[in-house]
Amino acid sequence: MTDDSAGTIGPLQPIYQDIDFDGDSLPSAIVQDDGVLVPVRKICEALGLDPKYQLQRLREHDVLVIGLREIRIPIENRLRVVAAIQHRYIPFWLATVTPHQVSDAMRPKLVRYQRELVDVLAAIYSPQLAPDLPLAAEPTLSALSRQMADLLLEFRLARAAAVEHQRDLTEHEQRIVDLENVVETMQREFAVYVPITPAQQEFIARSIKQIAQRYKKQTGKDLFGQLFAEFCKTHGTPRYDELPSNKYEAAVAWIQAKARQLLPDDPDAVPPMQHSVL
């Protein structure tokens, strides 16, 4: 496996043991902090499934791929590297298998399991808080069914509380975002009325003056007044000190563009911009 999302086993030495899988003994590895891992091929062989096709399905499934691993496990008296799946993902995997794909002997068991799963999932996710599970006629099984119903109800209540808590967190986060947007909007509106700083005024005035002086030195033509008038007209301000702060960046870009236009071969046409000016 090369999919990073599937993960790999860490350096801890796993514990090997066989587990019972519906009457079949399958090799497994118990890895600290990763649970019981069972070879995918062995499960497929027990069910009569095509291992290659099923492994491809597992790798392409957004949820099941999370449970995939590569492990070294003893098979036929040799340590082999195989694809394995975490034990807790096996029930969900079986729920995705089409019954006609398994062997004739396993098909009734798989169908029964999937029918039971329908009831369990309905009990967990249906709108009814405590839906009734079908009760068996045999007293012991009936008692177990009621116990299962009570556990599912407890799970539903816990899940509902967790969802509500997450909803509260989401609403709180959204309120923060809304407040940040309000602050940003107010800052933009405030910038329309607040003029640029004295340092910014000085930089603009010095830049236009320097462009005019260097242009006059090259051509003999004085265009300071023309530059000043064009600057004020472009940015809608009668003087440097009345330029709104939200137009400062555009003003600097205009000065730099004008310098490239009038003095294309002069890298020092505009004085260096100090960060403190900004």
* Number of H-type helices and E-type strands within the chain: 8, 5
Q: Return the pLDDT at 128.
A: 59
Considering the chain, what percentage of its residues have pLDDT values greater than 90? 28
Residue 174 has pLDDT above 90, yes or no: no
Render the burial of 212-234: b for 16+ CB within 10 Å, e for the rest: bebbeeeeeeebeeebbeebeee
Q: What is the pLDDT of residues 63-92, one digit of tens each?
A: 999 999 998 888 778 888 999 999 889 988
Distance CA(236)–CA(244), nearest Å, equals 9
Q: Which residue type, as a one-letter code, is found at position 45?
A: E
More confident residue, 175 or 22: 175
> Are residues 99 and 55 in contact, defined by beta-carbon separation less than 8 angstroms?
no
Residue 192 has pLDDT above 70, yes or no: no
In the predicted model, what is the mean pLDDT of residues 20-28?
78
When mean pLDDT is compared over 55-64, 135-144, 235-244, the highest value belongs to 55-64
Out of 35-44, 158-167, 229-238, least confident range? 158-167
Tokens of 5: 């999302």
Residue 259 has pLDDT above 80, yes or no: yes
Distance CA(131)–CA(144), nearest Å, equals 16
Q: What single string gives the DSSP state of each residue in 100-159?
A: GGS-TTTHHHHHHHHHHHHHHHHHHHSSSSSPPPPPPSSHHHHHHHHHHHHHHHHHHHHH
Query: Which backbone phi and psi does 62 adopt, to 5 degrees?
Result: -60, -30
Give residue limits of the domains in the chain. Answer: 4-124, 126-193, 198-277
Q: Assign 158 a pLDDT band (cuts: 50, 70, 90).
A: confident
> Are residues 215 and 192 in contact, defined by beta-carbon separation less than 8 angstroms?
no
Strands 24-31 and 68-75: unpaired
Render the burial of 154-171: b for 16+ CB within 10 Å, e for the rest: eebeeeeeeeeeeeeeee
Q: What is the pLDDT of residues 104-148, one digit of tens each?
A: 888 888 888 888 888 777 777 766 555 555 555 556 655 666 666
Q: Assign 238 a pLDDT band (cuts: 50, 70, 90).
A: confident
> Are residues 236 and 171 in contact, defined by beta-carbon separation less than 8 angstroms?
no
CA 193 to mean position of chain CA atoms? 40
Out of 45-59, 230-244, 249-263, least confident range? 230-244
In the predicted model, what is the mean pLDDT of residues 3-32?
69
Average pLDDT of the chain to the nearest whole number:
80
Size of the chain, expressed as the number of residues it contains: 278
Q: Return the pLDDT at 83.
A: 93
Q: Return the pLDDT at 38.
A: 92
**Helix, strand, coil shares of the chain as percentages rounded to 5?**
60, 15, 25
Residue 202 has pLDDT above 80, yes or no: yes
